[in-house]
Each structure stands twice: as C-alpha cells, then as structure tokens.
C-alpha cells in the first residue's frame, strides 16, 4: 500500500520545496500538478498512433473518446449505467467538463515519455492513460510518478508493471502474465494431459520474460516439462529457423510467448511447418498462444483456429456491463471493441469515479480512493483494485481460435471463465519483485 | 547432419528474398548509379498487390440470415463472394484460393509502372546529386509509400495464405534416411525458392541474350560511348528501373503466404538487402545473388539454439559481422568491380 502524504505537514513541505526549487512540473506550490481551472479538466490519452500497434492504439482512442462522451452526459451512457459505483452522472468529473489531448507512444519508451511529458507540461493533463506495450507502460508510469500525475495503464501484461516496477501513482486494470498462466494451465492439462513436453519461443523483452516464467511455472506445477526456452529478438519477422528444430526436440507442445506481429508470424510459420498435423510422443502436437489479442489474431487468419490462449475481456461475454459497452461502442463505430479498448474505457471511468468519490483531483486523494476499491458492472465481474500493488483482480478468460467464425470480428471464443480466486497471488510473490517491491510514496507533484 | 540440412533449407527461402531484392537494387545502382532506399517499399507494394487481388476476388454481396445474430443482436449479414455466386462455391472458391499466384499477373505491369513513374517523376532529378541526397530522397519516398499503404490497409498484418493444395510441409528427412520429422520444409517455401531462381535466371538471360540486355550491359560499362552511338540509353535504363521494381514486387507477392504482409515489411528487408549488395560487391549482379543466399543461410544457422547459447545475440549480428569481415579482406565485396563507388 502506498503511503498517502496528503497531510497538512506534507502540503507545507511540498509548498516550501516548490517555492525553493524550480521543477519541470512546476505548478502552484500549495496544490498539486495541473489542478484543473476554468470549468474543464484535461485527460491525456497516450496511445500508439503510429508503428506496429497503431490499429490497437486507434481502438484505444475510440474507447477513450466514447468514455469522454459518456462522462460528459452524451450518448447512451455505456457502462456508467451498469457500474456499481454511482458517482458518475454525466456532468463530467467533479462537475468539470472532460476534455482530452492525445499523444503518440509509437510503442517506444522514450517517445511515449516525451508525449506524456508534453501533455502534462503543455496541455495540463491531470491524468495519463493508455498504451499497448509493457515497456512503454513501465516507462510512462515512472514519468508520471516523478511528475505527480496519475497513470492509468492501458494494455500491459508484464508482471513487472505492478511487480518490481510498481509505482504509487500507477494503476493497472489489465491482467498479467501470472494470471494468464494460472488460468490457462488447468485448461491445458485438461485438454492435452499432464504428461507434456513444452518448447517455448519467447520475445526477448520484459513482457516475454515474465510471461514465459509464468506459463512455465504454472504448467510445470501440473506435470508438464519445459524442455527448452529460446529467446527471439523482438525485431524478428521470420521464425522458421526457430521453429524448424522444434519437432526434432522431443517437445509435443510449442508455447509462443509472442505478441502482435511476432505472434502472427511465429504462429503462421509454425502452422506452415505442419506442426499441428504432427504426432510426437504418441500425442498430437499442440500450439499455445498465452496472450491473445483479437485485433492481432485476425492477422494470423485461419491459423488461430482451435489454439488456446487467454484474454482480459471479450465482447461476447453475456454480462450487463459488457453488453452495454458493446452496444454503445458498436453503434458508434460499427464493430465490436477490442480488449484494449475495453480496458482503456474502464480505466477512464474508474479514474473519474475515484476523483468523484475522493472529492478532489489531488493524485494522492485519487490513489486513496482507488486502493482497495471493489466494484462490479464493468465487464469482468466483481473486481478489486488491490491496495498493495495497484493491480486489478478479476476473472480471467481462456479463449481459443474459433473454428467457424461468422464474421471478421468473430475470431475467438471463450472456453472458460477462470474465477478470480484461481489467479490471485500475494503482493510479495517472487515473480513480482518479492518483498523488496514497493509502491513508494504517492506523489501529488507541484 | 539433419540440423545442418535443416538450416540450409531454412536459409534458402530467406536468401531468395534477399537475393531478389538485392538483385533489383544492384540493377538500379548499376544502370542509373542511384542508391535506392525505396526498394524495400517496392517489395512491400508487391506484397500488397497480392492483398489487393485477394480483396478483389473476395468482393461480396450481403444477405440477411435471420437465424443468426451479429454482435449487436441484429440479424447477421452474411457475405458471399460474387465469384462463388457466378461460378459456384467450388470453382469460385478455388479461384479465390489461388489469389496469390494470380496476383503475379497483376503485379508485373503494376510494378513496372510504379518503377517507371518513380524513376521519371522523382529519381531522375537526383542523378547528378551526391549519393547522400539520393539516399535521403528515396528513404523519404519509402516512408511516404508506407504511410499510404497504412492509410488504406491499417497497421496490422493481413493474412494472405497460399493455395490450400500447396499448404503443409514435406518431410525431407525420410527422403535422406533420417527419422520422420527430422527435416520438414513447407511446400510454399520450396516454391518460393524455385520461383526466385527462375526470376534470377530470367533477368540474367534477359541481360545476356537479348539485344536490349546487351545495350544495357554496354551502358552499364560505358554510358557515354553508348550514347554517342545514337542509342537512347536513358530510356533503356528507365525500363531497367521498371524491371527492377517488378523483381522486388514479385518477391513481395510470393512472400505473402510466408509472413502476412504489413506496411512495414519493406523496411525489415531493406537494410539487410543493402548489406547483401555491399557484401556481394556494388554493381555486381552475380555478387548480389551469391551474397543473398550466403547471408540468408548464415543467418539461419546463427538462429539455432546451439549458436545462440554459444554466442548470445549472434543471430542479430551475424550478417553485419560477415559484412565487416568481407569488407576488411575484400574491400570491393565478394564480386565487386574496380572503380565502382570508388571515385
């Protein structure tokens, strides 16, 4: 749990420090960074608008625009109507009209920090949210912590975001690698048996490392053996040299710890090499993609059919929150939202609600309002924003590529909703930085 | 032994792509003296010719199926391709299935036209400018072309599969007496290699055995003398630019089933292809082909588990290490000629 420093003494100390030391995020010394003035509050949407994840970024932006519309009383209200907290009434946030600015992360840490910094300094953004990569999320979260701004992460799945790199000003609604492993492993054991030999191909960066570790741990606990883990450069486009030796390795399962273009290409290559048609150790050879994205899965075409993975959310869920969001998003844009869009929309609503409940835009008040907050009606069932690490805990979906899709959006189908209790872990879990991991102090900035 | 054969096979298709792109780069450099950084974009445009043809063949009409619902709960709009309506599901489906091979017929004239327009519209203005200017303007052009494609097709990869009858893999291991599954290789990658060799052979034959090719070769050796003979060498070189663009485009068309195309795929190949050209020897067509296959196979070996555990990161640097070694020992590259880029 972060230490909330919103006390008279700390305010005075911050004021003195603010007067004495000019900082890049200078504001009113007695207040907090970017205290909204003039009847409007500005949110900063930092998403990939160029680069390989631009389509995912565009979907995030659509969701944010929809959230702003709903917060300001426009449209049908979407998930505001199903949200268990009832502070959002269509009058903006704390009665201030919601405006927004956008930045382009380019899916590069330095570019993402630069765009976030610009939105904070030049546009007076009170909160930064969005993103489609864990390395970007970790980088921007660090910047927001320094700046005294709340960061509501977008799509980031690395354990590190709320693990060793957790920050008091940062919050993640999206699930993580550990949760994928915990949800997926029992389904894999059930479908493919417990006597399996797995060969991992892993994207060589923070997300890949933590996901591989999570999946290997979860599957080994159920009897699987991990016989090899090969790191592949993030810039790889052709995976044939990595895939060709798999069949000769004695493995009967290939786990692709890849996302985005890497996933599309490695899965396509694996299917090309006929892996799915082979029999090894007397069993059918299987492929697993632990983290699915519908937008990306479309790129792999028919190759995803029948392949198991996990997602944070899917538009086909039957709950009221999901139906409200899909109706609202689909009516406005003509197609169903992605899981990236969902998590971003939810994060915007959660932030707005936290400010309303806190009665202040002060980041430390918002942190206090979000920590330990339990809610429902936002598409994932009852959810907890855990105070210890600012990670949301909720049900996780196990999905598989659909055999007979009815449309280009109908790529995945939910095969199991893994209950929240099954994916929970202690905040000082070794995969999340252990006992040394700490949120640090909440920073109100200014 | 089986691992050795496996990686040689793997290197062949990657080497085929490098060789085809490097061949086009060398043709342009050898004829026009232009360092064309937009060549990777031509490879990408070729790939999107296949995407376009696939989309064209899949043009559909909609019917309402009251028994199924869409994501909003409305009756489902079912799309049926016109081809399946006109020729029946089997014949129409077969035509759609062969979209990539059919795209070759479309890509040849389109890519020649793109090449000629690119040369006449922009690059000819930079013939007498320094190579640095040429690199800047062609690199800028590549980015513009990328963004145009992204505007129309988005940033995500687009699945463009091979005909279903050519999917799957062949077990070479059994052929050579190894265990089953020891050496498997996809049919389409074999086709890609054979296709690349055919294109390379055709380009060499064209230059070697036709009058047009003879004039181009003479122009590459001594442009001024050929011009003084009353031959419009510029026109022929423009045509060669078009042919080089077509070679890159065909490489792109046939690559789409190997990896689903995206707007950035040209850049992924561009830098490596330039290294291939330099290693092969600037201006040397056989050098470009030889270096393409050589580096493709080496890259494949460097990606094996044995190589990456012995020397971590070797898979990412092997091509550049080889380039350094070649340039230190043979400064003009493997088959480079004296005087090329040495003024």
Give the DSSP per-residue string, A290-304: EE--HHHHGGGGGGG
Please report the ipTM that was assigned to this predicted complex. Answer: 0.86
Average pLDDT of every residue of chain A: 91
Could you state, in order of their start, the residue ranges of all structural domains in chain A? 8-175+315-389, 178-311
Say yes or no: do domains A8-175+315-389 and A178-311 share a fold: yes
The alpha carbons of chain B give a radius of gyration, in whole angstroms, of 22
From the list B192, B173, B190, the residue with the least C-alpha distance to B182 is: B173
Q: Which residues pair with A308 in a beta bridge?
A: A288, A400
- SS3 track for A63-76: HHHHHHHHHCCCCC
The residue in chain B having the minimum alpha-carbon distance to the alpha carbon of residue A266 is B259
**Interface probe with A: pick from B12, B21, B157, B309, most Cβ of A within 10 Å:** B157
Q: Which range, of A179-183, B60-64, B315-319, averages the lowest pLDDT?
A: B315-319
Burial class (CB in 10 A: 0-12, 13-18, 19+), B192: buried
The predicted model gives B274-287 an average pLDDT of 88
How much is the pLDDT for A1?
53
Specify the DSSP element, H or E, that contains B53.
Answer: helix B39-57
Cβ neighbours of B188 in A, within 8 Å: 272
Q: Per-residue confidence at B1, pLDDT binned at 50, 70, 90? A: low
Average pLDDT of every residue of chain B: 90
Cβ neighbours of B6 in A, within 8 Å: 244-245, 248
| Distance between CA atoms of residues B67 and B64, nearest Å | 9
Is the predicted pLDDT of residue A25 greater than 70, yes or no? no
Cross-chain residue pair A238–B181, CB shorter than 8 Å: no
For B76, the closest of A244, A299, A406 (CB atoms) is A406
Give the DSSP per-residue string, A193-259: -S--EEEEEEESSHHHHHHHHHHHHHHHHTT-EEEEEEEE-TT----HHHHTTTGGGT-SEEEEE--
Cross-chain residue pair A230–B259, CB shorter than 8 Å: no
CA–CA min distance B157, chain A (Å): 5
How much is the pLDDT for B269?
85
Q: Are B308 and B315 in contact (CB under 8 A)?
A: yes
Q: Are A394 and A421 in contact (CB under 8 A)?
A: no
Cross-chain residue pair A273–B181, CB shorter than 8 Å: no
Q: Name the pairing type of β-strands A197-203 and A225-232.
A: parallel
CA–CA min distance B54, chain A (Å): 13
pLDDT tens column, B17-59: 999 999 998 888 888 888 889 999 999 999 999 999 999 999 9
Q: Are A2 and A151 in contact (CB under 8 A)?
A: no
Q: Per-residue confidence at B338, pLDDT binned at 50, 70, 90? A: low
From the list A429, A348, A322, the residue with the least C-alpha distance to A386 is: A429
From the list A186, A149, A143, the residue with the least C-alpha distance to A169 is: A149
Phi, psi of A292 (to 5 degrees): -100, 150
How much is the pLDDT for B342?
54
Cβ neighbours of A407 in B, within 8 Å: 70-71, 76
Cross-chain residue pair B72–A261, CB shorter than 8 Å: no
| Distance between CA atoms of residues B181 and A259, nearest Å | 27
Question: For chain B, what percentages of helix, strand and coil (3-state, to nearest 5) are there?
Answer: 70, 5, 25
| Distance between CA atoms of residues B160 and B248, nearest Å | 18
Token pair 């519309």 is found at: A69
Pseudo-torsion of CA A121, A125, A130, A135, nearest 10°? 30
How much is the pLDDT for A344?
98
CATH number for the segment(s) A8-175+315-389: 3.40.50.2300
Q: Are A322 and A329 in contact (CB under 8 A)?
A: no
The residue in chain A having the minimum alpha-carbon distance to the alpha carbon of residue B166 is A272
Report the 10 Å Cβ neighbour count for A235.
10
From the list B171, B191, B188, the residue with the least C-alpha distance to B2 is: B171
Is CATH 1.10.3470 the right assignment for the domain spanning B2-329? yes
CA–CA min distance B218, chain A (Å): 39
Q: Per-residue confidence at A408, pLDDT binned at 50, 70, 90? A: confident
pLDDT tens column, B178-225: 877 778 889 999 999 999 999 999 999 999 999 999 998 888 888 889
pLDDT tens column, B133-190: 988 999 999 999 999 999 999 888 999 999 999 988 988 888 878 877 778 889 999 9
Q: Which residues pair with A3 in a beta bridge?
A: A441
Cross-chain residue pair A248–B157, CB shorter than 8 Å: no
The predicted model gives A145-159 an average pLDDT of 97
Cβ neighbours of B186 in A, within 8 Å: 272-274
Task: Check CB contact of B60 with chain A, cutoff 8 Å.
Answer: no
Q: Look at B187 and B336; give whichever has higher pLDDT.
A: B187
How much is the pLDDT for B273?
84
From the list B10, B34, B49, B43, the residue with the least C-alpha distance to B269 is: B43
Is the predicted pLDDT of residue B2 greater than 80, yes or no? no
Cross-chain residue pair B303–A242, CB shorter than 8 Å: yes
The residue in chain B having the minimum alpha-carbon distance to the alpha carbon of residue A302 is B159
The DSSP call for residue B125 is G
For B186, the closest of A55, A272, A409 (CB atoms) is A272
Cross-chain residue pair A233–B168, CB shorter than 8 Å: no
Could you state, in order of their start, the residue ranges of all structural domains in chain B? 2-329
For chain B, the distance separating the N- and C-terminal CA atoms, rounded to the nearest angstrom, is 46
Question: Alpha carbon of A345 to those of A62, A77, A168, A337: distances in Å?
Answer: 9, 12, 21, 10
Distance of CA A337 to the CA centre of its chain: 15
Q: Which residues pair with A172 in a beta bridge?
A: A391
How much is the pLDDT for A48?
94
The residue in chain A having the minimum alpha-carbon distance to the alpha carbon of residue B69 is A406
For B168, the closest of A248, A277, A280 (CB atoms) is A277
Is CATH 3.40.50.2300 the right assignment for the domain spanning A178-311? yes
pLDDT tens column, A389-406: 999 999 999 999 999 888
How much is the pLDDT for A295?
83
DSSP-derived 3-state class of residue B148: helix
């Amino acid at each position: 749990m972060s230490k909330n420093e919103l006390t008279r003494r700390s305010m005075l100390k911050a004021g003195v420090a603010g007067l004495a030391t000019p900082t890049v995020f200078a504001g009113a010394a007695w207040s907090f960074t970017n205290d909204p003035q003039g009847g409007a509050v500005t949110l900063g949407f930092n998403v990939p608008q160029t680069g390989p994840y631009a389509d995912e970024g565009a979907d995030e932006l659509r969701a944010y625009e929809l959230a702003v519309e709903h917060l300001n009383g426009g449209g049908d209200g979407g998930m505001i109507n199903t949200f268990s907290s009832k502070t959002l009434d269509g009058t903006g946030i704390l009665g201030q009209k919601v405006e927004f600015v956008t930045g382009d992360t380019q899916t590069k840490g330095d570019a993402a920090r630069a765009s976030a910094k610009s939105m904070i300094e030049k546009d007076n953004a009170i909160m930064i949210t969005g993103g489609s990569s864990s390395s970007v999320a970790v980088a921007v979260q660090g910047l927001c912590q320094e700046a005294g701004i709340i960061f509501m992460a977008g799509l980031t799945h690395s354990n590190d975001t709320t693990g060793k790199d957790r920050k008091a000003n940062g919050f993640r609604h999206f699930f993580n690698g550990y949760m994928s492993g915990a949800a997926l492993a029992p389904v894999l054991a059930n479908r493919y048996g417990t006597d399996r030999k797995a060969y991992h191909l892993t994207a060589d960066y923070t997300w890949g490392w933590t996901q591989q570790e999570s999946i290997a741990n979860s599957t080994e606990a159920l009897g699987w053996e991990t016989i090899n883990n090969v790191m592949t450069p993030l810039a790889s486009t052709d995976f044939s040299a990595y895939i060709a030796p798999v069949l000769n390795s004695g493995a009967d399962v290939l786990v692709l710890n890849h996302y985005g273009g890497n996933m599309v290409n490695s899965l396509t290559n694996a299917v090309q090499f006929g892996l799915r048609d082979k029999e090894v150790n007397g069993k059918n050879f299987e492929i697993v993609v632990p983290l699915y994205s519908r937008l990306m899965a479309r790129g792999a075409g028919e190759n995803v059919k029948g392949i198991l993975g996990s997602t944070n959310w899917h538009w086909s869920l039957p709950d009221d929150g999901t139906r409200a969001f899909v109706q609202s998003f689909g009516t406005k844009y003509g197609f169903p939202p992605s899981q990236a869009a969902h998590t971003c929309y939810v994060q915007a609503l959660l932030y707005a609600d936290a400010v309303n409940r806190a009665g202040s835009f002060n980041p430390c008040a918002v942190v206090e309002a979000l920590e330990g907050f339990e809610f429902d009606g936002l598409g994932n069932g009852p959810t907890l924003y855990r105070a210890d690490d600012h990670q949301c805990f909720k049900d996780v979906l196990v999905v598989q590529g659909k055999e007979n899709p009815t449309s280009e959006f109908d790529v995945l189908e939910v095969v199991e909703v893994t209950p929240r209790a099954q994916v929970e872990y202690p905040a000082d879990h070794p995969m999340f930085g252990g006992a040394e991991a700490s949120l640090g102090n909440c920073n109100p900035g200014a | 032994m089986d691992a050795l054969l496996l990686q040689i096979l793997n290197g062949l298709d990657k080497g085929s792509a490098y060789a085809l792109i490097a061949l086009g780069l060398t043709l342009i450099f050898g004829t026009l003296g232009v360092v064309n950084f937009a060549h990777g974009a031509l490879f990408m445009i070729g790939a999107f010719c296949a995407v376009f043809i696939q989309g064209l063949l899949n043009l559909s009409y909609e019917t309402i199926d009251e028994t199924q619902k869409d994501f909003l709960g409305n009756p489902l709009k079912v799309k049926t391709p016109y081809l399946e309506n006109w020729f029946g599901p089997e014949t129409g489906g077969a035509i759609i299935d062969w979209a990539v091979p059919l795209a070759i017929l479309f890509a040849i004239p389109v890519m020649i036209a793109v090449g000629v327009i690119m040369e006449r519209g922009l690059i000819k203005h930079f013939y007498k400018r320094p190579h640095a200017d040429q690199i800047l303007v062609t690199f800028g052009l590549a980015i513009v072309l990328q963004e145009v494609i992204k505007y129309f097709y988005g940033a995500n990869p687009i699945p463009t599969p091979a005909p279903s009858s050519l999917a799957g893999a062949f077990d070479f291991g059994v052929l050579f007496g190894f265990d089953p599954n020891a050496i498997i290789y996809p049919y389409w990658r074999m086709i890609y290699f054979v296709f690349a060799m055919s294109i390379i052979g055709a380009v060499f034959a064209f230059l070697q055995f036709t009058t047009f090719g003879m004039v181009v070769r003479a122009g590459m050796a001594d442009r001024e003398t050929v011009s003084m003979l009353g031959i419009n060498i510029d026109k022929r070189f423009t045509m060669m630019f078009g042919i080089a663009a077509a070679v890159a485009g065909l490489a792109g068309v046939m690559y789409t089933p190997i990896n689903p195309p995206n707007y950035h795929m040209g850049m992924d190949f561009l830098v490596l292809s330039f290294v291939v050209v330099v290693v092969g020897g600037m201006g040397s067509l056989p050098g470009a082909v030889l270096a393409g296959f050589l580096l493709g196979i080496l890259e494949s070996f460097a990606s094996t588990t044995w190589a990456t555990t012995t020397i971590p990161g070797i898979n990412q640097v092997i091509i550049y290490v080889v380039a350094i070694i070649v340039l230190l020992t043979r400064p003009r590259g493997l088959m480079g000629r004296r005087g090329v880029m040495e003024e």
